[in-house]
Amino acid sequence: MMSRTGHGNLRRALYMPGRVVRRHNPVLKVFGDRLKLAGLTPKAVIGAVMRQLTHLIYGVIKSGQPFDANVCRPGLGMSNVRPDPGLLVTPGSLTG
């Protein structure tokens, strides 16, 4: 359940945009998928996405630069790129 503390109008204003970016924004989609796999409830995932969306909005306003999904942001999921399978160390590859 989402907390009822805080600014209710802001929460209401960000709920639907949070749902939309959860599906369509590549950065927040990865972030939301990771939280869902971690076992968070759907509303908790939307709440976390709303918070990250707020940070992204603030960053765009503060920097004056348009949003760029190709920029890696730690903690948002884009930095969790899968490594090259040829570089993975498996238990059998260490014996020798």
Distance CA 62, CA 75 (A): 19
93 pLDDT more than 50: no
Say what the pLDDT of residue 2 is.
64
Q: Which residues contact 28 (CB under 8 A, 6 or more apart)?
A: 21, 22, 49, 52, 53, 56, 76, 77
User: Alpha-carbon dihedral of residues 22, 26, 57, 47, nearest 10 degrees?
Assistant: 20
- Is 23 within 8 Å of 29 (Cβ atoms)? yes
pLDDT in tens, 66-82: 888 776 555 554 444 44
Lowest average pLDDT, out of 4-13, 28-37, 43-52, 82-91, goes to: 82-91
pLDDT of residue 51: 92
HSE value, Cβ hemisphere, 13 Å, CA-based, for 30: 15
